[in-house]
């Protein structure tokens, strides 16, 4: 591997960021027909300055002002770690002003139900439930393996961005856990041997025993995009520029966030932890280190609203109500037993 790209990759700790930056760095090189990374790092400073300025002006024509920082940051990271200094203050002034974002609305539960009614593919159904239940970014899924998913009662815990500073834990509802188990059983029935290193979502295959590859982010995004179009959910939506008022895959995460934040008695700092966010209370990132069990107890408060199917939601509510009744009956029984013992003690005096 060329030294310039080796240094670049080793300076970026997050796998997700590394992948994104490498993609945009390659796009920059392709635009200027630069063949390899060492060649890019060796281009004279003044020429690189002009290239970067031209590239920013090109980006202004083709992408949103709100996303232009990412491709610029990718190239800057490569040049910085290879000791190439440009006049970034001048380049910064070329960037457009940010605009008000669209696509900030969440998918509604009824809309997700509609999506599911338009597919019979088990992997697609599992993907929809996984995103809706866990709030995981779709870009994180290709790095999630079976070793990152653990059973917790009728639910599952998911370790996201394992081994990075962005690592966090979220969960699957009982409903989503069941469909995920069905998906795994199908893979095994097709001939796959599941191991801790097996991907949570496998790429399309003809033969189950063929070499297993993780589904790429692009492939998973295309699955959701196709399903949304097929289900007709875009027909009455508002579109501003290239964006709809509900983002194809991020709308699931918006829903997860909204449900957690509006659930009665939810600890907001723990809800933020399950989103993988920096928490809202000062110093919580330093001093707040909840256990998985503590997070799970908070997650369970939101299970009824996170559940998609009405019958599953009613079943869960009935089970929880039955548990409360049982707990109350046990409490009454203990009180009656205590009162009985006190009466016996009084009679024995």
pLDDT higher than threshold 70 for residue 158: yes
Q: How far apart are CA 96 and CA 78, in angstroms?
A: 22
Bridge-based pairing state of the strands 168-172 and 243-244: unpaired
Give how far the C-alpha of residue 17 lies from the chain's centroid of Cα atoms, to the nearest Å: 14
Select the more confidently predicted residue: 126 or 334.
126
Collect all residues with Cβ–Cβ distance below 8 Å to 70 and sequence separation of at least 6.
Answer: 20, 24
Which whole number is the average pLDDT over 212-234? 93
Q: How far apart are CA 132 and CA 317, in angstroms?
A: 19
Percent of the chain topping pLDDT 90: 67
273-300: pLDDT as tens digits: 999 986 555 445 544 578 899 999 999 9
28-39: pLDDT as tens digits: 999 999 999 999
Which whole number is the average pLDDT over 174-202? 96
Q: How far apart are CA 252 and CA 258, in angstroms?
A: 10
Q: How far apart are CA 151 and CA 155, in angstroms?
A: 6
């Amino acid at each position: 591997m060329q030294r310039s790209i080796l240094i670049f990759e080793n300076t970026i700790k997050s796998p997700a960021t590394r992948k994104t930056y490498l993609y945009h760095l390659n796009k920059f090189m392709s635009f200027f027909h630069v063949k390899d990374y060492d060649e890019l790092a060796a281009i004279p400073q003044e020429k690189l300055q002009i290239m970067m300025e031209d590239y920013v002006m090109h980006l202004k024509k083709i992408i949103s002002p709100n996303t232009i920082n990412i491709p610029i940051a990718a190239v800057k990271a490569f040049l910085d770690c290879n000791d190439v200094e440009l006049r970034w203050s001048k380049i910064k002034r070329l960037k457009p002003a940010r605009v008000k974002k669209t696509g900030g609305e969440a998918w509604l539960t009824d809309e997700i139900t509609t999506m599911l009614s338009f597919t019979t593919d088990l992997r697609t159904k599992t993907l929809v439930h996984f995103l809706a239940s866990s709030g995981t970014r779709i870009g994180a899924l290709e790095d999630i393996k079976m070793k990152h998913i653990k059973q917790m009662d009728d639910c599952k815990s998911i370790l996201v961005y394992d081994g990075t500073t962005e690592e966090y834990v979220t969960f699957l509802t009982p409903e989503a856990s069941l469909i995920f188990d069905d998906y795994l059983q199908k893979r095994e029935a097709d001939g796959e041997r599941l191991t801790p290193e097996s991907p949570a979502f496998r790429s399309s295959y003809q033969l189950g025993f063929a070499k297993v590859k993780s589904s790429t982010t692009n492939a998973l995004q295309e699955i959701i995009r196709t399903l949304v179009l097929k289900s007709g959910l875009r027909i009455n939506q508002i579109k501003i520029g290239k964006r709809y008022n509900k983002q194809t895959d991020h709308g699931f995460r918006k829903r997860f966030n909204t449900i957690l934040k509006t659930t009665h008695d939810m600890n907001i700092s723990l809800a933020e932890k399950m989103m993988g966010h920096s928490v809202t209370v000062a110093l919580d990132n330093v001093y707040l280190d909840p256990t998985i069990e503590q997070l799970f107890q908070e997650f369970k408060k939101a299970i009824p609203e996170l559940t998609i199917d009405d019958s599953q939601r009613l079943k869960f509510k009935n089970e929880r109500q039955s548990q409360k009744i049982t707990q109350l009956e046990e409490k009454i029984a203990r009180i009656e037993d205590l009162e009985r013992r006190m009466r016996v003690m009084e009679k024995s005096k």
